[in-house]
Structure 1
Amino acid sequence: MHLPAELLDVRAIAFDVDGTLAGADHLVSPRTLRALAALDAAGVEPIVVTGRIADAAVEVLTAAGIDGYVIASNGAVAVDTRQAEPLHTAVMAAQDVAALVAFALAADVEPLVFTATDMVVGEDGIAYDYLVAVHPDSVTRKVPVRSLPRDGVTKAMLFATTERLDELDDAVRAAFPRAVRSMDNVFELGPAGADKWVALAAILHRLGIEPSQVAGLGDGENDVPWLSQVGWPVAMDNAREPVKAVARLHIGHHGDDAAAAFVEDLLAARAAASRDAAGHAGRPGHAGQPGHAGHAR
């Protein structure tokens, strides 16, 4: 993959998980985990930015053998893995959760809710098996659908077939203007004022990194607000059209480990640029001249 020279200077890369880091099996492959570890070793901060609950999001960095920052539940929870307590947790207003559940029941689709620690689904639907497949190590609870929690909710969702959500798309957006269609079969609604960009901006401030120095990889509508703010938004081949519209670079499909290939190519290009700069600096007449833009911090 040919990468623009100015991309080599990024100091952080933020990654969505489902549809981006994770493959078609919803797992993050060993190749991708190695790529994240190599990125960290090269001095480029990997940041996980996902709709998954915090424990599942942290597990991505843990499996890669690194510490760092994680944004979970679409920005409602932010974590530094080196600290015991989350950096922040935001919850939805109970009336917003109740409204989404009522809408789901009237429209004959499944409502799901996430808390900071678990995922809760109606006991008679199909979402439970889906969530367990996507998040096998996370806590998923079944309750009577009318008993879904209203308090302490970090994210609420509508789950249905792609065709059914296509039919309901306009109605969902009209009823819940903050809702985003993160995947073909899911609409998501989070706390007012909390999204992936708000959380990512706060983490970048802690790190002393400007948004222009950040690349981001994503695929869903919930990635558009933060991708549009970073210097290098990157769309997966499987991304929804609003993501592709804001991206400066398009890469391959998540099912083909395209995020890992992107990181591998970036690190190889940085290493080549560093060697080239060192070679020029060592030649007569080149001492003191600036090298290529690529470097490791």
Structure 2
Amino acid sequence: MNLHDDLLDVRAVAFDVDGTLAGGDHRVSPRTLRALADLRAAGVEPIIVTGRILGAATAILADAGIDGYAVASNGAVAVDTRDSDPLHTAFMDPDEAQSVVAFCEGRAVEPSLFTVDTMVVEEGSVIHGLLVAADPTAATRAVPPGELPYAESTKAVIFGEPGTLDALDAEVRAVFPRMVRSMDTAFEMSAAGADKWAALSAVLERLGIPPERCAGIGDGENDVVWLSRVGFPVAMGNAREPVRVLARLQIGHHGDEAVAELVEALLEARSAR
């Protein structure tokens, strides 16, 4: 793999998780975890930047055997795992969270509200089982409709079959202008002013690393803003079109451990140089 010198000179790499760092089973492979640890050992800071809840984001670093920085819930929360106080936290307006849930009523889609540490769905939702299956270690809770945590929400998600969401695309974006298509099966929206870039920039400032010395790897629409601001944006082979357009490099599919392959090639090239 031939890599540009600009990539070899980065001081940090930010990783989206679902569709990027994680495989088709939504888990981060042992090979990929080793790559994160090796990156840190080489003096390059790995940063998790995900739509997952905080515990699921920090668990990736823990599984890699390292401390560090994680951005969760699409930028609503940012932490240094060595510090008990978060760098950044933002909550949705309760009325806005409630309007997302109301939008799903009568349509073939289902809502979920994320808090800092829990994914919450309505009782009877088929999404509950899917979320548990995708990440058994993450906190997932089913509650009566009247008990959804509107005042504590960091992110609202609309789940559905890809074709259903395709058909609703224009309507969803018209009603909720901040909604982005993070995956084929999900639209999501965080608090106003909270996005992955706002949180990542706070992390980079803490590290003293300018954005142009940071690479980023992602696949979804919720990655477009932050990828466009780092020095070396990388698109997955499975990335949505807006990500591919802005990327300086496109790698393989997330199901083929393409991120691990890239990190291994990066470290080999740095060592050879």
Q: Same fold (TM over 0.5)?
A: yes
Deviations 1:48-90 (A, max 9, x none): 0000000000000000001110000000000100012322211
Q: Alpha-carbon deviations, 1:146-198, whole Å to 9, x = none?
A: 43221110000100100100010000000000000000010001100000000
SS at structure 1 position matched to 2:137: coil
Question: C-alpha root-mean-square deviation of aligned residues, in Å?
Answer: 0.9
1:92 paired with 2:92, answer yes
Partner amino acid, structure 2, of 1:224? V
TM-score scaled by length of structure 2: 0.98
SS at match of 1:107: coil
Match of 2:44 in 1: 44
- Which consecutive segments of 4 or more residues in structure 1 shift more than 2 A? 144-147
AA at the equivalent of 1:77: V
Q: Which residue of 2 aligns with 1:257?
A: 257
Equivalent position amino acid for 1:121 in 2? V
Is residue 243 of structure 2 the alignment partner of residue 243 of structure 1?
yes
| 1:219 alignment counterpart | 219
Paired letter, 1:138: A
Structure 2 Cα separation of the partners of residues 235 and 145 of structure 1: 38
Report the equivalent of 1:163. Answer: 163
Q: Distance in 1 between matches of 2:76 and 2:46?
A: 19
For 1:139 and 1:156, the matched residues in 2 are separated by 16
Q: What per-residue deviation string (whole Å, max 9, x for no partner) do you get for residues 78-119 of structure 1?
A: 010001232221100001001111111142310100001111
User: For residues 171 and 29 of structure 1, what CA distance do their matches in structure 2 show?
Assistant: 37
Alpha-carbon distance in 2 for matches of 1:125, 1:118: 16
Q: CA separation in 1, counterparts of 2:115 and 2:56?
A: 12
Name the counterpart of 2:9: 9
Taking the aligned partners of 1:56 and 1:85, their CA distance within structure 2 comes to 17
Report the counterpart of residue 75 of structure 1 in structure 2.
75
CA contact (8 A) 2:74 2:195 kept: yes
1:291 aligned residue: none
**Match for residue 230 of structure 2?**
230
* 2:151 counterpart SS class: coil
Q: C-alpha deviations, 1:196-228, integer Å up to 9, x for none?
A: 000011111111111110100000100001000
Distance 1:203 1:66 in 2: 16
Alpha-carbon contact 1:28-1:60 (below 8 Å) kept? yes
Q: Unaligned regions of 5+ residues in structure 1, if any?
A: 274-297
Q: Distance in 2 between matches of 1:236 and 1:12?
A: 18
**Distance in 2 of aligned mates of 1:221 and 1:146:** 31
Secondary structure class of the residue paired with 1:99: helix
Q: Which amino acid is 1:234 matched to? A: V
Q: How far apart in 1 are the matches of 2:36 and 2:272?
A: 19
Instruction: Give 3-state SS (helix, strand or coil) of 1:237's partner.
Output: coil
Contact 2:6 2:232 (C-alpha < 8 Å) held by counterparts: no
Distance 1:202 1:125 in 2: 36
63-72 or 105-114: bigger deviation: 105-114
Query: Is the CA contact 1:21–1:28 (under 8 Å) kept in the aligned structure 2?
Result: yes
Query: Once the 2 structures are TM-superposed, how far is the Cα of residue 145 of structure 1 from its aligned partner?
Result: 3.2
Q: 1:106-255 maps to which residues of 2 (within 5 A)?
A: 106-255=106-255
In the other structure, the counterpart of 2:29 is 29
Give the deviation of 1:249 after TM superposition.
0.4
Paired amino acid for 1:79: V
State the alpha-carbon separation in 2 of the partners of residues 245 and 106 from structure 1.
36
Partner SS state of residue 78, structure 2: strand
Retained in 2: the 8 A contact 1:26–1:133? no
Q: Distance in 2 between matches of 1:89 and 1:68?
A: 17
Q: Distance in 1 between matches of 2:131 and 2:266?
A: 33
Partners of 1:6 and 1:91 in 2: CA distance: 36
How far apart are the structure 2 equivalents of 1:145 and 1:247? Answer: 41
State the secondary structure of the residue aligned to 2:105.
helix
Q: Secondary structure at the match of 2:6?
A: helix
* Structure 2: stretches of 5+ with no match in the other structure: none
Amino acid paired to 1:52 = R
Supply the distance in 2 between the matched residues of 1:132 and 1:2 (Cα, whole angstroms): 39
Asked if structure 1 preserves the Cα contact closer than 8 Å seen for 2:87 and 2:202, the reply is no
